[in-house]
Structure formats: structure tokens, C-alpha cells
Amino acid sequence: MSATCATGRHDKHDVYAAQCPCRGVLDLLANKWAALAIGALEGGPQRFGALQRRLEGVSPKVLTQTLRRLEDAGFVERTVYPAVPLHVEYELTGLGRGVAEPLAALRSWVERHLDEIQERSLPDVPGRSTPAG
């Protein structure tokens, strides 16, 4: 099936087409905090504080924005339990569990190849050790 948009006619789901909605999904999933949040939720439901502790370095604001985007896209479900204090849990939906596997493979690949990547002269790779000169 094809579609017509401002850039012309293309396959309906063509991530290479400028106006394809697939790009928004790809942008969301390629975000480091989204990919890490999905990974952190693979083990089951988590409260906000537990997620923030697991995702070292993420601010509460960014984690909130990330979880909202994942919820809006259907990857994460937010459940509020009526308790004092308020109890909120986040968990992966079926869609979220479906994307968790390829994201886990990507995280695993990065961990396996990080030393090789850091050995190259890529100054913008965070954490790269710079040879003494």
C-alpha cells in the first residue's frame, strides 16, 4: 500500500520517507532514556522512584517526560493505586514487551563492542578514555 504526502508517493510505512509517521516512533525508541526505561521495565512493574534509581543520571523531569511519551505511544501503562501516599506503577504493555527484545539486543551489542568503539578516535563518545599525550 502506498500513500501520498508533501514529499510525494511512497510506501505507507517507509521510515526513509520524510513525512512517514514511523520516524516519530523510531525517534522515541532511539532515545536513550526511552530505551533504558523499557529495559528497566522488562522485569515487571516499577514505581517511579525505583525507575529513577535504576536509570542513573536521569532527572525526574526527563523521566516523567519519557514515561509520558512511552505511555502515549502505547509502550507503557501507568497504574494509579488509591493509597496514601499515592502509589503509581509503570509496566510494559504488549507493545512494550514486543520492542523490549530488539532494544535488549541493541544494549547487549553496545556493551560487547564498547571497548572497540572507545578505542577509535571518537571524541563525542561519552566516557571514552583519552590516551595520554
pTM: 0.78
Among 16, 25, 17, 15, smallest CA distance to 5 is for 17
Among 69, 74, 35, smallest CA distance to 55 is for 35
Look at residue 126 and tell me if it is in a domain: no
Q: What is the mean pLDDT of residues 28-49?
A: 96
CATH code of the domain containing 31: 1.10.10.10
CA 28 distance to own-chain centroid:
6
Look at residue 80 and tell me if it is in a domain: yes
As to burial, measured by CB atoms within 10 angstroms (0-12 exposed, 13-18 middle, 19+ buried), residue 36 is buried
Look at residue 127 and tell me if it is in a domain: no
Domain count, the chain: 1
Dump pLDDT digits (tens) for 67-124.
Answer: 999 999 999 999 999 988 889 999 999 999 999 999 999 999 999 999 988 888 666 6
pLDDT at 20: 85
Look at residue 130 and tell me if it is in a domain: no
Report whether 2 contacts 11 (CB < 8 A): yes
Look at residue 37 and tell me if it is in a domain: yes
